[in-house]
Amino acid sequence: MSTEDISYKVSVNGYDFSFTKKEIDELDFVKTSNHEFHIIRGNQSITARVEPSSNDKKINVGIAGETFQVEIRDKLDQVLEKMGFGSAANKVLKDIKAPMPGLVLEIAVVEGQEMNDGDKIAILEAMKMENSIMIHGKAVIKKILVSAGQAVDKGQVLVELE
């Protein structure tokens, strides 16, 4: 496996996202002040304010007036989760909500489908970045409430679970 194929995981407001080293390398970061960064991806320019939180594995990121709590999971955290030692494996979910406003690019599930921790539910485009929305724990897809091409608001229910 090349280093460009390495996948990273972060949790934003309780929703998992994954991305590759190649995607990170395509971003242009410039630190503009103590806690602010200017980020360029393709033709898009973003200013982000990054503040540490009380937990050393979490940070608060402010973009366009919205604040997101980002949890960074290292390789050990990911291995422990796969072994069932993470709290996500035991969590009972009722629905999956959009972690931020955006455009649904893909729904990767069908009603009645059994899901396991880490399975992809949808791809949401927000600020020109594609974000995979994954499930925490185990569940069955009860009802899909959105479709590809639909704009969604932060907190809008995308999928109901049983």
Q: Using one digit for the tens of pLDDT, what is the confidence trace for 52-105?
A: 766 667 788 888 888 887 877 767 776 767 766 654 444 456 888 888 899 999
R_g of the chain, CA atoms, integer Å: 16
Among 145, 121, 146, residue whose Cα is nearest residue 132: 121
pLDDT at 34 over 60: yes
Collect all residues with Cβ–Cβ distance below 8 Å to 32 and sequence separation of at least 6: 38, 47
Q: What is the residue range of 17's domain?
A: 3-161
Q: What confidence score (pLDDT) does residue 106 get?
A: 95
Residue type, 9: K
Assess contact for 34 and 52: CB atoms under 8 A: no
The pair of structure tokens assigned to 47 is 């200013």
Q: What share of the chain is helix, strand, coil (3-state, %, to 5)?
A: 10, 50, 40
- 148: CATH: 2.40.50.100
Q: Using one digit for the tens of pLDDT, what is the confidence trace for 111-131?
A: 999 988 778 999 999 877 888
**How many structural domains compose the chain?**
1
